[in-house]
Amino acid sequence: METSVKAGRAALLSVVMLVALAGPASATSPGAVRGVPAVTLVLAAKPWHYWISFVLAASFLGLLLMMVVGYVVKVVMLKYGIKVGRKST
């Protein structure tokens, strides 16, 4: 049980660190080029790696769903005495 808690905390910490460290990186820009704001240049460009955003978003949603289902199965169902996958004899 303790190892699953540590794994859950490590997963949550990695997501928090990713969000915390990716924000400042996207906020920095080289500045205006020939009078065009840097934000406009970023929005106009279609980077080669745009497709990975769909993969990352889907994996994040899958991880979130698995964590919610795991919590319900391991904590809530045990609290109310609901057994899953076992036949009572």
35: tokens are: 């009078």
14: tokens are: 């990695």
**Dist CA 30 CA 4 (whole Å):** 43
Is the pTM for the entire model greater than 0.85?
no
Encode pLDDT of 16-29 as tens digits.
877 777 765 555 45
Name the residue ranges covered by the structural domains of the chain. Answer: 49-89
Angle at 51 between CA 43 and CA 27, to 5 degrees: 40
Residue in the structure block whose two tokens are 């745009």 = 50
Q: Is the pLDDT of residue 35 over 60?
A: no
**Dist CA 71 CA 77 (whole Å):** 9
Encode pLDDT of 46-81 as tens digits.
666 777 888 999 999 999 999 999 999 889 888 888
**pLDDT, greater one: 39 or 70:** 70
